[in-house]
Structure 1
Amino acid sequence: MTEASAAPLATPTAEAAGPATPRPVLVVDFGAQYAQLIARRVREAKVYSEIVPHTWSVEQMLAKDPAAIILSGGPSSVYAQGAPFVDPALFEAGVPVMGICYGFQAMAQALGGEVAQTGRREYGGTEVEVCEAGVLLSGTPDHQTTWMSHGDAVHRAPEGFEVLATSSGSPVAAFEDKGRRLFGVQWHPEVKHSAHGQTVLEHFLYDGAGLSPDWTASNVVADQVAAIRSQVGDARVICGLSGGVDSSVAAALVQKAVGDQLTCVFVDHGLLREGEVEQVERDFVDATGVNLVIRDEKERFLTALAGHTDPETKRKIIGREFIRAFEDAAREIVEAAGDDGGEVKFLVQGTLYPDVVESGGGEGAANIKSHHNVGGLPDDLQFELVEPLRTLFKDEVRAVGLELGVPEVIVWRQPFPGPGLGIRIIGEVTAERLDTLRAADAIAREELTKAGLDREIWQCPVVLLADVRSVGVQGDGRTYGHPVVLRPVSSEDAMTADWTRLPYDVLSTISTRITNEVADVNRVTLDVTSKPPATIEWE
């Protein structure tokens, strides 16, 4: 175990007031593929949002003291047996509500309007005609392209509503009751294919709901620093630092809140990329002066992972062993301090909102995969968690990092999963396979940097298909080696992503170098799948 430290970047000021929690705009998820995107678009308008399930009662929603509510799209027909519905009491609560697609139809039906099949489905780009601008469509063109995905339509608006727009397949494509602050559109304004979608959402938020665009990185920092001080008090804290943007920003927030009560612990689990440990010491410690303990735990993790190939099992093992390593570190920190401090009660993690949603930890969310720091945590966790980024998306975390003065080399670092290369090896994780993948990954990263593409892509996982072999020819002889997969993706927040169209010459160079320089690899392939249907990581 080694330690590194320097002069602290920030120390806590006098006792702060309790945390100020912003009133959320609730996005009610009816099973929409775009529910997370709606929440993001609201946040882009500098208004705080949270996602909740459609199974929540009106009382549960109102208990959150929402500033407004948005009803998302969904795959059902509102008149089908067992379809999700909206309690009409929601519209009597005095909270501004906007319905989108299915949410629009559910609102219309709940308030006495008519929803039925049109016999003409509308999918993709659809032109709507504005017949009355109202609040929602103020300042937008009379004819505009929107993105639709529906087979049913509102045929008659509820009493008291003004029809704002129509389309060839939707007799009522938008409506509003300005007096009751109720609004709705048939299309998806959250999708960028809807030409004026963000404007429509902002009209609802600012003009319809009367909200102000005041949820900024500065406010997030102030709120979280106060929340951390309130939670932690004068107790000791450790932070699982990986060197990535998430854990680095979380550590910087906690350090700003409680100063030298924080010790960062970097666990070298043997699943890291080339140069990872040196990067953490050089960039983060030098910039922040945080107290850092580095633990060599390679043998612990490799032993625990031996013989396991199931992705969920590997993630849970890695999550468990991280906690065991942090527990050992905490005991040693206390022993080293002697009588100068008490036990370590808190563990800081850089958990993000997408981690929570994909792990099934979001309200009503399906478990896509258990992130090691959410669904992979052991039941007998000895620490209380401090997760100051749990409600944020990646781009929001970067904004907070810049606000805190975290170096840009860290803020703009490409994401790297906590389980590391362990979930980029398809099959059992062994030291030899890690060496192979580490070498291939280093080549890909080096060539992407040379080509100036680091800021053009979100990340480029390199995946080793360890349980697959293919025939090749090298040096006039037959080989039977492993393929690797390049997975370059572009994304804003990791909830959705598209594969990045890298230049062919860059791909060629990467392929040639990997097959020439990395033993046991004789084939390089390219993953050209978006998310959805695929996740960014293969496991």
Structure 2
Amino acid sequence: MSFEKILVLDFGGQYNQLIARRVRDESVYAEIKSYETPLDEIKAAGYKGIIFTGGPNSVYDESSPHYTKDILDIGVPVLGICYGAQLMAWMGGGKVESCVKSEYGKIEIENTKRDSLLFKGVDEKSIVWMSHTDFISAPPEGFEITSHSADCPCASMENVGRKLYAVQFHPEVTHSQFGKQFLHNFLFEVCGCKGDWVMDDFIERTVESLREQIGDKKVVLGLSGGVDSSVAAGLLSRAVGRQLTCVFVDQGLMRKNEGDFVEETFTRLFDMNFVRVNCGAQFISKLKGITDPEQKRKTIGSEFYKVFWDEIRKQADGGFFAQGTIYPDRIESGKGDAATIKTHHNQVKMPEDITFDGVIEPLGDLFKDEVRRVGEKLGIPKELVWRQPFPGPGLGVRIIGEITEEKIKVLQEADAVFRDEIKKSGIEDQLSQFFAVLPDVQTVGVMGDHRTYDHLIAIRAVTTDDFMTADWAKIPYDILARISNRLTNEVDHVNRVVYDITSKPPGTVEWE
């Protein structure tokens, strides 16, 4: 199978995969490789274009990621973004300095070269997203400045003859007004792409690759019932059928009645071996006395896989271990040069006494919305593909402090009421994720003629394109009022409700 490819050369920022995702949105396949990738390997791959990503470093710091300047002379168009732009200037002999006044957030730039291919269809003045403390004070010889801001003399530059382009801002984020247009122009006006890649290609290529990799061996996959593991199961089932064993560990930390729903759904939809292990009491025992969020995550993850592998020892011998890991799981766990934000349940190291022929992550380079598109193409019902995201540690990261059986029951009931009211209100499709949280807080209340001292429930709802950034949802007051009334009236031991209005960043979507 042959199709156009763009290389996203990774220099260590948090939004590198988002660039690749924006490229794929244009029906052009993108893949990410480290800045440590040899130049000969890049030259041999036949890329239509190369994008240097951003990063938190300074080009003059010897410990910063660099690359040979020869990459600018292999005849492939290059677009440098933020640090990538400064790196291009440094490679070419230009000058990069520290800003007198750093630029963060939405900044207005003015285009000074109206015939620039990169600015085709872009207004003379537009808003872009800046995030930098260094800037290009003098472009390399042969480069022309194409835009500036009030505090940045070189917001973009280009060398048309060599097809080298650089932007100090971030076109990949939605905050940049014409960000999509900038990337479109680079792909189609500069690189000459045709846009011949579709999600069907990903499915076909992945299924073929899985069949070749797995052969006649067995595969085991831990199922949570969420979108990611469901789609991973669908791909693996299409590739190897009943060579796949899916183990569903019901750790007692799922939403109300969810375990039964998962079992019924997967036994009906997929050609696989399905095993359910009920072990809620075991998890509560292991979590007793633990309050630290990271320790809870690691305990849940480790115990999950202990139960999982104990079951697998009964089911299979050797073969492959499969995970429904998607890109945000990997980037937030500090893979590569990205900083650790939180440890994900499917990033816990497997025990040394367990050996597989390899680990398979068929969705490891996709974002959530791309995973859903794959699920739809695989014929998985909408009710499953568009289910609310649910963390691997389950309600364990939505119960602050020690996890107890009583707290789990309170949160399950509260979450069920919240989800039911959102569905009835007709705004479910407008929200990317919504759920209830049980903080380790009790407050004074009055119910009837009695004073109460009971649980506070926090509710959380966000909107987002990619889950790398998110905004809190502006739920109408009348809906919030109905939710609050139902929670305090219908859920035992709840006497107060608060609404979380924190965006990501600075917060994360989950509380822990």
TM-score under structure 2 length normalisation: 0.91
Does the Cα contact within 8 Å between 1:190 and 1:198 map onto a contact in 2? yes
Instruction: For 2:126, give the aligned amino acid.
Output: Q
Deviations 1:258-284 (A, max 9, x none): 112122222111111112122223434
- Report 1:386-465 matches (<5 A): 386-465=360-439
Instruction: For 1:320, give the aligned amino acid.
Output: S
SS of residue matched to 2:153:
strand
> Are 2:108 and 1:135 equivalent residues in the alignment?
no
- Report 1:495-514 matches (<5 A): 495-514=468-487
Does the Cα contact within 8 Å between 1:111 and 1:158 map onto a contact in 2? yes
| Aligned counterpart, 1:252 | 234
> Are 2:323 and 1:349 equivalent residues in the alignment?
yes
The alpha-carbon deviation at position 65 of structure 1 amounts to 3.9
Give me the whole-angstrom Cα distance separating, in 1, the residues matched to 2:33 and 2:348.
Answer: 19
Give me the whole-angstrom Cα distance separating, in 1, the residues matched to 2:56 and 2:303.
Answer: 40
Give me the whole-angstrom Cα distance separating, in 2, the residues matched to 1:196 and 1:535.
Answer: 27
What runs of 5+ residues in structure 1 fail to find an aligned partner?
1-18, 335-342
The alpha-carbon deviation at position 218 of structure 1 amounts to 0.4
| Aligned counterpart, 1:484 | 457
The alpha-carbon deviation at position 307 of structure 1 amounts to 1.9
Does the Cα contact within 8 Å between 1:166 and 1:173 map onto a contact in 2? yes
Give me the whole-angstrom Cα distance separating, in 2, the residues matched to 1:47 and 1:419.
Answer: 35
Equivalent position to 1:184, from 153, 166, 169 = 166
Q: Between Structure 1 and Structure 2, how many residues are aligned? A: 509
Instruction: For 2:374, give the aligned amino acid.
Output: V
- Report 1:255-294 matches (<5 A): 255-294=237-276
Instruction: For 1:220, give the aligned amino acid.
Output: F
Equivalent position to 2:495, from 518, 522, 525 = 522
Deviations 1:460-483 (A, max 9, x none): 1311113x2222222222222121
Instruction: For 1:354, give the aligned amino acid.
Output: P
Does the Cα contact within 8 Å between 1:112 and 1:158 map onto a contact in 2? yes
Does the Cα contact within 8 Å between 1:268 and 1:294 map onto a contact in 2? yes
| Aligned counterpart, 1:8 | none
Instruction: For 1:69, give the aligned amino acid.
Output: I
Deviations 1:176-212 (A, max 9, x none): 2233221112222223333222111122123323444
Deviations 1:146-186 (A, max 9, x none): 33344554343222223333444333332222332211122
Percent identity over the alignment is 47
Farther-moved stretch of structure 1 (228-237 vs 406-415): 228-237
Deviations 1:101-153 (A, max 9, x none): 33222311321223346756554230312324232123333343333344554
Does the Cα contact within 8 Å between 1:316 and 1:376 map onto a contact in 2? no
| Aligned counterpart, 2:21 | 40
Equivalent position to 2:283, from 284, 287, 301 = 301
Instruction: For 1:112, give the aligned amino acid.
Output: G
Give me the whole-angstrom Cα distance separating, in 1, the residues matched to 2:472 and 2:253.
Answer: 25
Deviations 1:393-442 (A, max 9, x none): 10110110011101011011110111111111111112111111111111
Distance 1:82 1:323, change over 3 A: closer
TM-score under structure 1 length normalisation: 0.87
> Are 2:46 and 1:73 equivalent residues in the alignment?
no
SS of residue matched to 2:158:
strand
Distance 1:99 1:213, change over 3 A: same
Give me the whole-angstrom Cα distance separating, in 1, the residues matched to 2:66 and 2:163.
Answer: 20
Instruction: For 1:356, give the aligned amino acid.
Output: R
Instruction: For 1:188, give the aligned amino acid.
Output: H
| Aligned counterpart, 2:42 | 62
Farther-moved stretch of structure 1 (60-69 vs 268-277): 60-69
> Are 2:316 and 1:315 equivalent residues in the alignment?
no
Distance 1:522 1:52, change over 3 A: farther
Farther-moved stretch of structure 1 (281-290 vs 267-276): 281-290
Give me the whole-angstrom Cα distance separating, in 2, the residues matched to 1:405 and 1:411.
Answer: 9
Farther-moved stretch of structure 1 (190-199 vs 227-236): 190-199
Instruction: For 1:533, give the aligned amino acid.
Output: P
Give me the whole-angstrom Cα distance separating, in 1, the residues matched to 2:3 and 2:330.
Answer: 19
The alpha-carbon deviation at position 58 of structure 1 amounts to 5.4
Does the Cα contact within 8 Å between 1:133 and 1:164 map onto a contact in 2? no
| Aligned counterpart, 2:72 | 91
| Aligned counterpart, 1:9 | none
Does the Cα contact within 8 Å between 2:112 and 2:145 map onto a contact in 1? no
Distance 1:427 1:152, change over 3 A: closer
Give me the whole-angstrom Cα distance separating, in 1, the residues matched to 2:75 and 2:511.
Answer: 45
- Report 1:103-252 matches (<5 A): 103-116=84-97, 119=100, 122-123=103-104, 124-150=106-132, 152-252=134-234
Instruction: For 2:180, give the aligned amino acid.
Output: Q
Does the Cα contact within 8 Å between 1:133 and 1:139 map onto a contact in 2? no
Instruction: For 2:442, give the aligned amino acid.
Output: R
Give me the whole-angstrom Cα distance separating, in 1, the residues matched to 2:453 and 2:462.
Answer: 29
SS of residue matched to 2:242:
helix
The alpha-carbon deviation at position 95 of structure 1 amounts to 3.8
Give me the whole-angstrom Cα distance separating, in 2, the residues matched to 1:130 and 1:487.
Answer: 44
Give me the whole-angstrom Cα distance separating, in 2, the residues matched to 1:38 and 1:299.
Answer: 44
Farther-moved stretch of structure 1 (35-44 vs 45-54): 45-54
Higher relative contact order at CA 8 Å, sep ≥6: structure 1 or structure 2?
1
SS of residue matched to 1:179:
coil
Q: CA RMSD in A?
A: 2.7
